[in-house]
Structure 1
Amino acid sequence: MKENNAKKMSLISLILMIFTSVFGFTNIPRSFYLMGYGAIPWYIISAVLFFIPYAFMMAEYGAAFKDEKGGIFSWMKRSVGLKYAFIGTFMWYASYVVWMVNISSSIWIVISTAVFGEDLTSRLHLFGLNSTQTLGLLGVCLITLITFTATKGLEKITKVTSIGGLAVTLLNLVLLFGSLLVLALNGGEFAQPIVANSFTASPNPAYGTPMMVASFMVFSIFAFGGIEAVGGLVDKTQNAEKTFPKGVTIAAIIIAVGYALGIFLFGIFTNWSAILSDPSVHMGNVAYVMMQNLGYQVGIALNLSEPVAISVGLWMSRYMGISMVLALVGAFFALCYSPLKQLIEGTPDEMWPEKVKVIKGGMPVNAMWYQCGIVAVFIVMISFGGEGASAFFSKLILMTNVAMTIPYLFLAVAFPFFKGKTEIDKPFEIYKTHRGAKIATFFIVASVGFANISTIIAPAVGGDLPSTLWMIGGPVFFTIIALAIYNRYEKVMEAKKKVKMA
């Protein structure tokens, strides 16, 4: 017993594992851009109402189904039923399709920053197209190239992710020491002053209404994404009954404080009106703009000449660009086949036509090309919608945030059913009573539902109906596809049943 325990994770190891799985650097500058210091209370609310109770749910699921191979599909199937599980799993897969739509176009900002030190995508005009349409065209080319490469089974290329991940992690230290240096050299003065309503109001005019402020919650919930991985850590933790809840709670506090501290640090050297009110700044490039500004402000605080300070800023944003390119390219190669493969192999064989199930070199090659076509159509429809870069990237990121949080609802709603199934062995339980499980489910569904509804409705209230329609249209489209696949499965099974009876 002592040997096994020695191989398991300690409290510190568990906290570090959760932190690295969840904490995302780019969430901080985007939050500051949207809400300024007003983003901080939303991170605290999301940690309490969503992250902690949801992480405990994933832990219970993971412990109960540690021998199941189907992942969340098996969890929901055993808890609720096949149809519910398939639709929930398909929506989980669809969230990665929307992520690919987003990254296919936005990665060009990252590449531009890595090469030139700044976002020059607004100057791109191929074949007489405007910059947004050009980015859409480049996005289609990228998803085609990555799909072609990945179908050849070049999985080793994903190793660049670990290098990029380390470089992005170091950005946190660059932000910490750089901003503290600026603060010390500027006599403790913040570029973005902290006033009475700093934590309740946003300096961003677009977030001036209560509805828009409330819609920010989807960003703070999305920033806690990645906790599904927590489900598989219970049986790898020392004294899980005591260590795990303590580790999750401490990790949640550290992550929430980390985001809050990061937002404060950006306020040290970034004045919202002076830097972020520029029309060329948008959700897609704001992180690079702010890191470039950090380098520039460090140079000015050190009394370097203007040209040298500008050069420091360009190298700062270039470093971030290179880090993100490495991380995103590796993630893209992995995510263009991994969720799809898990969906096909984790669900019943009869769900899929023979062409979809073709596996070559470990890759679902035909399915990957169908996926590529869907991503390309979405990119073209959004990029040729006649809007500027700011609206384009805002729409992509909002769609991604909404899509990525919908699977949380499916897993949370299934949890009381899971707790009610006495035939399922539950070796690890935090929610000791069925009532406790229902209360936790209520808070998660209420917080995620409120965040998504606010996010979806807010653009329409502000006169931007297309953004609302896109955020509704994506989930509706994938739900229709999921129902069509399931109906086909039912017909196949019915036909098999009749053959057996004949």
Structure 2
Amino acid sequence: MIDNEEKKLRWYNLAFMAFVMVFGFGNVVNNFANQGLEVIVSWILILALYFIPYALMVGELGSVFKDSKAGVSSWIGNTMGRRLAYFAGWTYWVVHIPYLAQKPQYVLVALGWVFKGDGTFYSSMNPLVAQLISLAIFLFFLWIASRGMNSLKKIGTIAGTATFVMGILYILLMLGAPFIRGIHPATTDVSVHTVMPKFNFMYLTTISMLVFAVGGSEKISPYVNNTKNPSKEFPLGMILLAIMVGVTAILGSVAMGMMFDANNIPKDLMMNGQYYAFKLLGQYYGIGNVLMIIYAIANVLAQVSALIFSIDAPLKVLLADTDDEFVPKGLTVVNKHGAPIRGYLMTAILVGILIIVPALGIGNMNELFNWLLRLNAVVMPLRYLWVFLAYIAIKKAVGKYDSQYKFIKNHTIGLIVGVWCFAFTAFACIFGMVPSGIPVYTSGWWFQLILNVITPFILIGLGFILPIIARRKKKRA
């Protein structure tokens, strides 16, 4: 137990820490590209109905299991047993495979904007050539990660903070542009009709991107018991976090609508939108490409750091709190730099397949980029399901678990809220599998749909293989 004197985090400290962890400018751009100005109402709904309860559940789980080593998998291990704990750890690791497969694309796009000043460097490439270069970039940084080089992680933290600050700067400068520079908004038709979502089938296919944007609150769970008064200050911090995310997302969407016509959104906005935004902003304020180049360089470093961190950290979560009944001992062998080298090899194989195979059926670089981004929005939230299962488990076990902070004291209401968040996440992932942005029922549409459906099943299904191998290894031993 940490003494009160050592609990120095206040609710506003926690909110700012979580804000930098959870949210980024790219979330604003991607969801505006997906929904246009309708995303304003969507942000309000997703924050109130999903993000706030999600973050507060994480707080209670972090408080109950304050000594857990491996986060979500430890929560599941303590509530539902070691076997499911292994699958929680496997899910947490394997959903990063599409994420790792896309990081080299981000690097190539950003470098194109640095050296060419536009998005043609990447978009004009042959898809197979581009993906082979992406694979080479990934393998290079996998090698760096295997040698325990952590300096790029530190540089990336600084660069990530810089891109975050510049995202806030963009919102402020763009909102002020009509008054300071006399800029006329690109979207002229702004009304209840254009802002209110049309809750039809196509709208439902875009929800997973919103869930993807606000996910990741479990990263703040270790800090719950470090607050001065967890039962009062943690929920205050999370409410402030939700307000900060909401204000940033809504004002950012308004700023994007001022710069880009929401009724005629560029098809490559997901891929190039962040750079278009800073390029045009520099033109508005008469400083050329300076802001765009600074942002692109910072983004390259941030993406490289995220790539290295996401190769290493999720794998260590998988291996940290499991045993040789589920994971072969050989997989936990580390090299002289402390890297689980065979786990790295397994990562390289899966990422390599996911980088190359789609390029054989998606012949347009913009479509390929958007598809992988949307696949991430389908696959990454699968790890959040384990958070909600752990919360449901502690609410079902009345009186068994105690903590300094409780989100909902009534076990029945807590159970209902946990089931709601689980069901909503699963719903968003399922509907997110339907391709959007391309003509329906074409060969390309079917190819993407098939990949979207089978990829999550294959990635999760591979988790059943390791326990079989582990049991055979134990028998031989």
Does 1:348 find its partner at 2:323?
A: yes
Deviations 1:274-331 (A, max 9, x none): 7x43x5x2422222122222222333xxxxxxxxxxxx45333222111111111111
**CA–CA separation in structure 1 for the residues paired with 2:209 and 2:430:** 13
Does 1:324 find its partner at 2:299?
A: yes
**CA–CA separation in structure 2 for the residues paired with 1:363 and 1:30:** 34
Q: Secondary structure at the match of 2:289?
A: helix
Does 1:412 find its partner at 2:407?
A: no
The 8 Å contact of residues 106 and 300 in structure 2, kept in 1 or not, is answered as no
Does 1:334 find its partner at 2:321?
A: no
Residues 434 and 270 (structure 1 numbering): CA distance in 2 closer, same or farther, change over 3 Å? same
Aligned length: 470
How far apart are residue 3 of structure 1 and its match?
7.2
Deviations 1:203-250 (A, max 9, x none): xxxxx9822222222111111122112211211111111111122112
**CA–CA separation in structure 2 for the residues paired with 1:79 and 1:354:** 25
The match for 2:158 is: 163
Does 1:474 find its partner at 2:451?
A: no
Residue type of the alignment partner of 1:4:
N
Segments of structure 2 that go 5 or more residues without pairing to the other structure are none
Does 1:395 find its partner at 2:362?
A: no
Residue type of the alignment partner of 2:254:
F
Does 1:197 find its partner at 2:173?
A: no
The match for 2:357 is: 381
The 8 Å contact of residues 118 and 314 in structure 1, kept in 2 or not, is answered as no
The match for 2:77 is: 77
Residues 122 and 84 (structure 1 numbering): CA distance in 2 closer, same or farther, change over 3 Å? same
- Stretch deviating more after TM superposition (456-465 or 317-326): 456-465
Q: Secondary structure at the match of 1:430?
A: coil
2:333 corresponds, among 339, 358, 375, to 358
Does 1:429 find its partner at 2:419?
A: no
Does 1:465 find its partner at 2:452?
A: no
The match for 1:256 is: 246
- Largest Rg, 1 or 2: 1
Segments of structure 1 that go 5 or more residues without pairing to the other structure are 202-207, 300-311
Q: When the two structures are superposed, what TM-score results if normalisation uses the length of structure 1?
A: 0.87
Does 1:217 find its partner at 2:204?
A: no
Does 1:450 find its partner at 2:455?
A: no
**CA–CA separation in structure 2 for the residues paired with 1:473 and 1:218:** 17
Residues 315 and 7 (structure 1 numbering): CA distance in 2 closer, same or farther, change over 3 Å? same
The match for 1:118 is: 118
Deviations 1:445-475 (A, max 9, x none): 2321222222113549932122222222221
Deviations 1:27-54 (A, max 9, x none): 1122222212111111111112211111
Q: Secondary structure at the match of 2:361?
A: coil
Percent identity over the alignment is: 23
Q: Secondary structure at the match of 2:285?
A: helix
Residue type of the alignment partner of 1:462:
V
1:296 corresponds, among 273, 283, 293, to 283
The match for 2:56 is: 56
Does 1:233 find its partner at 2:223?
A: yes
**CA–CA separation in structure 2 for the residues paired with 1:173 and 1:398:** 24
**CA–CA separation in structure 1 for the residues paired with 2:278 and 2:263:** 16
Q: Secondary structure at the match of 1:356?
A: helix
Q: Secondary structure at the match of 1:223?
A: helix
The 8 Å contact of residues 158 and 330 in structure 1, kept in 2 or not, is answered as yes
**CA–CA separation in structure 2 for the residues paired with 1:487 and 1:354:** 13
The 8 Å contact of residues 164 and 326 in structure 1, kept in 2 or not, is answered as yes
Residues 386 and 23 (structure 1 numbering): CA distance in 2 closer, same or farther, change over 3 Å? closer
The 8 Å contact of residues 356 and 366 in structure 1, kept in 2 or not, is answered as yes
How far apart are residue 476 of structure 1 and its match?
0.6
**CA–CA separation in structure 1 for the residues paired with 2:406 and 2:100:** 36
User: Pairwise CA RMSD of aligned residues?
Assistant: 2.5
Residue type of the alignment partner of 1:435:
T
